[in-house]
Amino acid sequence: MMLGANTFQQAKALIDLGVRADNTYPEGHAYLVKTHDRARSTRTAIFKRFVHIWQQNHNVHAHFIDDSHKKNDTSIKHKKDILFYQTGLKHVPDISTNRYLPGAIADHLTSGAGVGIGHDGQMKAFRWLESGLTGSYGAVIEPCNFTEKFPNPQILIPSYTAGDSLIEAYWKSVQQPGEGLFIGEPLARPWSKTILTFQGRTLIISTIELDTNQNYLIEERTSPDEKWRETPNNVTAKIKKNHLEIHIPNAKAKLYRISKKPFYFGIMRLPE
C-alpha cells in the first residue's frame, strides 16, 4: 500500500488522519452507487445485496443509490459523515463537497484510477485522498470490469467494522488485486477490537468482540499458577454506540479473563 502524496506534508497529514481514526467507533454512512455508466457499474448486484442484508451494524448506515438516470450529476454531494463510498465512473463529480470521517474509504470502478496522481485521463484514486478520504484503490492496467478485481463491500465493510486495519480489510475485499494499487494510511483502525485503559483504579475494557445480548463471567488471578476466581468487585458494563465498555473497579489482579456463562448474570448491563 502506498501513502499517496505530492509532498512530505501531504503524506504526514494522511498519516495523522489515519491516527485520528483509531478507536473512534464512528457512526456514519456507506453509499454504494449505480451510475449511468453500465460498463463501470458491474458491482450493482453486489451493492444491492449488501444493503439488503446489512442491518446497520456498528452504526454504519448503508444506502444503495440508483444514479443511472444522472449522466453529469450525482446524488452524493454535500453529504456528511461518509465512511464508505463506492461507485463506477471515469470521473466522479462533487467528491470535494462531502464531509468524510477519519478512516473513510472510497473507490470508483474504472480502468486507470491507480495510474499516477495527475489530472490527465481518468480520475485518479488520489483525488479521493485529496478530498479527505483515508484510503482508496485503483487499477494500474486494464482490468476489464470484472468485479473480482475491485473492492467488494460485502467483505470490506464487515471486516473493517470488525476491527481489521484499513489495509487488512481493503486487501481482503479484492479477490484478484494483482492489477490494482491500494493507497492511503494502511494502519487506520476506527473499530479497534479491544482497548484497555485505566481511570484511577478502575480498569475499563472497550471491545467489539463480545455479544451485548450474551451474559459473561469475569474472572481473575494474580499469577499463572493460581486458579481462576470470580472477580468480586462491582463489575458493570455499558453499551456505548456499537461496543461494550466493561468497568472493573479497584482492579488489582494481574490477569483477567471473560467467558460466556449460560444462564448466569455475570455483569450488569446499563444503558448509555
Asked, for residue 72, whether it belongs to a domain, the answer is yes
- The answer on pLDDT for 10 being more than 60 is yes
Mean pLDDT of all residues belonging to the chain: 91
CA distance 26 to 242: 9
Note the pLDDT tens digit of each residue in 186-205: 999 999 888 899 999 999 99
- The answer on pLDDT for 91 being more than 80 is yes
Note the pLDDT tens digit of each residue in 47-88: 999 999 997 777 899 999 999 999 989 999 999 999 999 999
**Is the C-alpha dihedral spanning 134, 204, 215, 220 positive or negative?**
positive
Boundary residue ending a domain (184, 217, 235) = 184
Task: Say what the pLDDT of residue 165 is.
Answer: 97
Domain match, 118 and 178 both: yes
Domain match, 79 and 168 both: yes
- The answer on pLDDT for 272 being more than 50 is no
Asked, for residue 106, whether it belongs to a domain, the answer is yes
Average pLDDT over residues 22-38: 96
Asked, for residue 247, whether it belongs to a domain, the answer is yes
Domain match, 92 and 143 both: yes
Task: Say what the pLDDT of residue 216 is.
Answer: 86
Domain match, 30 and 116 both: yes
The one-letter amino acid at 130: E
CA distance 32 to 35: 10
Three-state DSSP class for residue 183: strand
Task: Say what the pLDDT of residue 262 is.
Answer: 60
Domain match, 62 and 160 both: yes
Q: Which domain holds residue 158?
A: 8-184
Query: In the structure grid, which three cell numbers stand for residue 82, read together?
Result: 461518509
- The answer on pLDDT for 107 being more than 50 is yes
Asked, for residue 253, whether it belongs to a domain, the answer is yes
Asked, for residue 173, whether it belongs to a domain, the answer is yes
Domain match, 167 and 235 both: no
Average pLDDT over residues 101-123: 95
Confidence of residue 212 (pLDDT cuts 50, 70, 90): confident
Domain count, the chain: 2
Asked, for residue 66, whether it belongs to a domain, the answer is yes
**Is the C-alpha dihedral spanning 36, 40, 41, 42 positive or negative?**
positive
Of 110, 99, 159, 163, nearest to 136 (Cα)?
110
CA distance 32 to 232: 49
Task: Say what the pLDDT of residue 208 is.
Answer: 83
Confidence of residue 182 (pLDDT cuts 50, 70, 90): very high
Boundary residue ending a domain (138, 165, 184) = 184
Task: Say what the pLDDT of residue 239 is.
Answer: 83
Domain match, 61 and 14 both: yes
- The answer on pLDDT for 113 being more than 90 is yes
Domain match, 16 and 67 both: yes
Boundary residue ending a domain (166, 184, 202) = 184
The one-letter amino acid at 207: T
User: Are the beta carbons of 166 and 135 closer than 8 angstroms?
Assistant: yes
Domain match, 64 and 97 both: yes
Domain match, 42 and 157 both: yes
Domain match, 100 and 204 both: no
CA distance 235 to 242: 20
Domain match, 153 and 214 both: no
Note the pLDDT tens digit of each residue in 215-270: 888 999 998 899 999 998 788 888 876 778 899 999 989 999 998 876 444 444 44
> Residue 199: how many CB atoms within 10 A of its CB?
9
- The answer on pLDDT for 151 being more than 60 is yes
> Residue 181: how many CB atoms within 10 A of its CB?
17
